[in-house]
Each structure stands twice: as C-alpha cells, then as structure tokens.
Amino acid sequence: MRKYKYTCLDLFSGAGGLSRGFFDAGYDVVLGVDFDEMTLKSFKENHGSAEAKKLDLFNHDNIDVIIDFLKERNIKLDVLVGGPPCQGFSIAGPRDKNDKRNTLYQAMVELAERVKPQAVVLENVPGMLQTNGGIGAKRIVEDFAAIGYKMEPKLLYAPDYGIPQIRKRVFFVGLLNSKETFVFPEPTVDKESYVTCEDAICDLPALENIYGDEVQEYPCEPLSDYQKEMRKKSDKIYNHIGTIHDKKTVKMISLVPEGKNYKALPEEYQGLYKYHEALTRYNSKKPSLTINTGHRSHFHYKYNRIPTVRESARLQSFPDDFIFYGNKSQQYKQVGNAVPPMLGKVVAERLKLYLRK
C-alpha cells in the first residue's frame, strides 16, 4: 500500500520556501498561488508535480478559482500554508497598521473556512507580535478562532534549527476543531553549535573578478555536514553568478575587516554612508545577517563582492537542487522574501503528529 501523503497548498507562495520545507518533509504540495510570474516559475519547477496560479488575492472572488482547482482534481486539502504580506507590521518598514496589505491574510481565513483543511500554518514578521501592542497577531488569532482554528503563535529563531542565518519569524499554527494545542518543536542546535557562514558556503567557487557560468562544477568535496545536506540531490551549481563592483566599492569593502561594517573604515570615509548596515562584511564564524532582497549592503566574509544568489540561498537553507528563475535581481528578491525551507520542514515534521490520515 502506498504511504499516504498529506496535501499542502501555499497561498502567497513566493518561490516557495515554506512549502519546500513541507515538500522535503514528505507532503504532497499541490498548488502555489502568488502574483509574480517569474516567482511562480521558480515555485513550479521546485515542488514536484505542484501547479502554480497567478491570482490577485486582494480580490476574494479568486478564492473560487482555487476551490475549483481542488474540486477538479478531487483533492482533499490537509494543510493550508502561507506568508501573506504584512509590511505594515514589519520592523524594517514604516509600520502602518492601516496598510491594506495587512488584511491579505483574510484570504487565508476565507479559503480555510470554505475548504476546512486540518491545519493552517501562517508565517510572518516578528512585528506582528510587537507593533501597536501586537494587534496584528490578535486579529489573526481571533479571525481563525471564529472559524474553528485554535491558533498558536510562536517566534522561531532560525539558527536554533540549524540555519546559518540570523532570522526571526513568527509562525501561527492552527488545528481545526481540536482539543489539542500545537506544541512547537524545541531547538535542534545549541548556541555553541550554530551553523556558520563558512560552514554554509566555503565550498562554492570564489568568483573574484569573474561572473561565473550559468552551471558550474563543485571545486571540492563538501567541507561540512551542512554542505553535504545542501548538495545531497545536486551534482552541479546553479545561480552562482558573481557581481563585479566598481573600483570605489571594491576599495571600500577591502578596508572593512571580517564581521565589521562601514564604521570600521578610516574616519575620512565613514561620512559617505548613512545606512546602518552599509558595507557589512559577514563573519565566517557566525551565522549571516538576515538575507535581504538584494540591497548591496552585505558582503562575503572573504571576497570583495556581495554574496551570489546561490550563496544567499544556502544561507537561507535552500538546497542546491532548488533552481531560481528570472534575472539576477528577481532571483535575489525570491530568495530574500522566502521562509527558510529548513524552518518550514521542522514545523511540517512536528505537524504530522497532529494530522489524521
């Protein structure tokens, strides 16, 4: 008898970091929904037989399209996952509680109410718990409670789960009509054993002063357990195209020691930079800073260039067989906006304990 696979649908999927975690945990990811075509191409190519649909979820009529998709394929949905944009609650953004994007999660509420998956997993920014007295989190918990889901929120710190990146995300996990409350998995790694930048990317070609080919060979065997895991299903390197900076940028970053930023420049140059993370060089012995969507402010711990898309993807815990599509700028955005797949996988594995076949 074939082993039963729980079904999973990803709303506001982006390239699908969260659902890739569910896919790697053995779930059948059936559909990704987003509004960006190239992002959806990356989603579709990296989630087995999953389909991808471009839909505007400000318009809740489009929820009918998703329900029709499930009906046509006779799919009973087990888990609905999603990371709706909530820039109004982001600490990095202007923090406007009236930002209309903050209401996009209501598309998840409506879809859950109509198809009744066993569980809902919603991921978002830490500001959800902090901004304006945590009003964002309260709304989410109350709206899902009204349709039968007991939502449990928790802030997860990526390095605690073996991810080489300082990233905090809030996960809400709700179980339908359940007497049980979801208990989040405990950290799998202690502080002394955090996976570092060097552990994550030191096996990739240096690319100093060269762009690199679309497809490259590994220059060496894996040099850490993390690299072994990332390379498990891949025998080639993709998305590893270097950036050759102008002479001024190369000069400035060459003056920044490992783990420091523009404040470590000679005094006469410091006034050139205002952004607090400008010219930040990663520390090889620590996890990286939060991967962004391609601002040119973070630099390799050793080389005088920004990390490649593949290096950023490694630091986000995307395995090397996950290929990103679109131009370089689109690829950086897809990586930076994603949930680390390993974080999704940890939640997905724990959730299996609560699901019925």
3-state secondary structure the chain: CCCCCCEEEEECCCCCHHHHHHHHCCCEEEEEEECCHHHHHHHHHCCCCCEEEECCCCCCCHHHHHHHHHHHCCCCCCEEEECCCCHHHCCCCCCCCCCHHHHCHHHHHHHHHHHCCCEEEEEECCHHHHHHHHHHHHHHHHHHHCCCEEEEEEEEEHHHHCCCECCEEEEEEEEECCCCCCCCCCCCCCHHHCCCHHHHHCCCCCCCCCCCCCEECCCCCCCCHHHHHHHCCCCCEECCCCCCCCHHHHHHHHCCCCCCCHHHCCHHHHCCCCCCCCCEECCCCCCECCCCCCCCCEECCCCCCCCCHHHHHHHCCCCCCCCCCCCHHHHHHHHHCCCCHHHHHHHHHHHHHHCCC
Residue 49, number of CB atoms within 10 A of its CB: 8
C-alpha angle 81-14-115 in degrees, rounded to nearest 5: 30
pLDDT at 50: 98
Lowest-pLDDT range of 88-97, 274-283, 320-329? 88-97
Domain range 193-336, CATH class:
alpha beta
Structure tokens at 39: 């992002």
φ, ψ for residue 287 (rounded to 5)? -60, 160
Residues of the chain above pLDDT 90, percent: 82
pLDDT at 102: 55
Q: Do domains 7-188+339-354 and 193-336 have the same CATH topology?
A: no
pLDDT class of 96 with cuts at 50, 70, 90: very low
pLDDT at 210: 84
C-alpha angle 113-88-55 in degrees, rounded to nearest 5: 45
Residue 29, number of CB atoms within 10 A of its CB: 28
- Strand partners of residue 101: none
Mean per-residue pLDDT for 349-353?
97
Nearest to 49 by CA among 5, 14, 80: 5
Q: Is it the case that residue 237 has pLDDT exceeding 60?
A: yes
d(CA 88, CA 100): 8
pLDDT class of 97 with cuts at 50, 70, 90: very low
pLDDT class of 160 with cuts at 50, 70, 90: very high
Who wins on pLDDT, 134 or 57? 57
Q: Is it the case that residue 88 has pLDDT exceeding 50?
A: no
User: Which amino acid is it at 233?
Assistant: K
- Strand partners of residue 282: none
Which residues have a Cβ under 8 Å from the Cβ of 290 and sit 6 or more positions away? 165, 166, 167
* Annotated domain spans of the chain: 7-188+339-354, 193-336
d(CA 177, CA 173): 13
Mean per-residue pLDDT for 50-55?
98
Residues of the chain above pLDDT 70, percent: 94
Nearest to 145 by CA among 176, 122, 99: 176
pLDDT at 189: 96
φ, ψ for residue 288 (rounded to 5)? -75, 170
Active site annotation includes 8: no
Residues counted in the chain: 357
Catalytic-labelled residue, pool 86, 197, 202, 220: 86
Q: Is it the case that residue 300 has pLDDT exceeding 50?
A: yes
Mean per-residue pLDDT for 179-188?
94
Who wins on pLDDT, 288 or 139? 288
pLDDT at 274: 85
Superfamily of domain 7-188+339-354: Vaccinia Virus protein VP39 (3.40.50.150)
**The dihedral formed by the CA atoms of 151, 313, 259 and 94, expressed in degrees to the nearest 10:** -50
pTM: 0.93
Residue 340, number of CB atoms within 10 A of its CB: 27
Average model confidence (pLDDT) across the chain: 92
Structure tokens at 248: 């001024």
Lowest-pLDDT range of 35-44, 130-139, 150-159, 343-352? 130-139
d(CA 311, CA 318): 10
